[in-house]
Amino acid sequence: MPARYLIIIVCILLLALGIIFRLLFFKQKTIQPKLIASMLVKSGNIDLYTEHFGNHENPAVLLISGAMGSARSWPDEFCQNLANAGYFVIRYDHRDMGLSSAVDYAKNPYNLDDMAKDAIAILDAYNIKKAHIVGHSMGGAIAQLLALDYPKRVLSIVPISSAALANPELNVQEKEIHEHTWPVLMRNKPTKNFEESVDGFMHSYEYLHGDLPMDRAMVTAYIKDMYVRSRPEHIEWFEKFSQGIEPIHNHVKAQQNITDRTKDLKNIRIPVLIIHGQKDCLSFARIMKEYCADLVPHATMEIIPGMGHMILNKALWSKIGELLSRDMGKYVQ
């Protein structure tokens, strides 16, 4: 056998021996998945799943999702950026979503006032006296209720894509937009299977996103999380909805016949920043201006061009994060 072949064979044997030696005597370095700190909170007989970011000693920010929105509707990166900016950030699954309790609405009906109490229960559990409250859609209405009914617990509120605490009359253009919007959303017929349902959700979210580009990878991850990180009862509702057995989610029922609180808004004395999309086809910017921004002392309103009802790209989240840091930084505990 030529010497060069012997040299190659020896090298191969030495390499193999080295690999075996490393496997036997050195621990392999593994990359651990990032763990998110969580806590289960009691609100009466309801379990609320919460997650938190940052230093508990910092000013607190409570993020409240919209109807059928889970904790993860506030992206990890957005939450971590707020924590890096010096805040203690909490997000949570509403009752009837994610890892929080399912409620038999027929036996135990609830409304937005009860959901506001859920938020207070979370602040109590974390031993937080006051917090900035940031709410999206239905969460924005809950934020307004917290400012009205629990003013000593609130530093500021930021309703995003929010509904007003009233049932105002829509103008002709707004009625036409709603008449077009609901059929689009009702075409989504989810099942208990993620693969069967993702396209329907994707179409609905794209319609609700306005004129700005939607990050499809972000949306897919959010939908996937909704399926894999939820109690079975929450996923079963999808099929009940699609089959017409339960056509209305409990979160929608909770908002029906909402009490008109617009006359009370003048009593809010904390800072209010309203963020709204110019192209929101569910909650209209005009209504939030007339029924909230114009009525609350110290309120400011930012209308973002092209933004719809949903927040589904990183640039938009960055913009909202900048607005929050700008305004919340003015107000400390």
CATH code, 282: 3.40.50.1820
- How far is residue 291's CA from residue 163's CA, in Å, rounded to a whole number? 9
Task: Give the SS3 label for residue 184.
Answer: helix
84 part of a folded domain = yes
Query: Which pLDDT does position 35 carry in this prediction?
Result: 60
Q: Is residue 14 part of a domain?
A: no
pLDDT score of 251: 92
Asked if residue 10 belongs to a domain, the reply is no
In this structure, is residue 264 part of a structural domain? yes
Q: Look at residue 43 and tell me if it is in a domain.
A: yes
Quickly tell me which residue has 């894509």 as its tokens. 161
What band does 254 get if pLDDT is binned at 50, 70 and 90? very high
At residue 242 the predicted structure's pLDDT band, cuts being 50, 70 and 90, is confident
- Establish if 207 belongs to a structural domain: yes
The amino acid occupying position 309 is H
Domain tally, the chain: 1
Residue that is written with structure tokens 């209305």 in the block: 248
Q: State the pLDDT at residue 237.
A: 87
Please name the amino acid found at residue 285: A
241 within some domain? yes
- Report residue 330's pLDDT band, with 50, 70 and 90 as the boundaries: low
Beta-strand relationship, 131-136 and 299-304: unpaired
- Tell me the average pLDDT of the chain: 87
pLDDT digits (tens, 9 = 90+) for 80-126: 999 999 999 999 999 999 999 999 999 999 999 999 999 999 999 99
User: Is residue 333 one of the residues assigned to a domain?
Assistant: no
pLDDT band for position 331 (cuts 50, 70, 90): low
Query: pTM score, two decimals?
Result: 0.87
Q: Give dist(CA 120, CA 104) in Å, integer.
A: 22
Q: Which domain holds residue 291?
A: 37-328
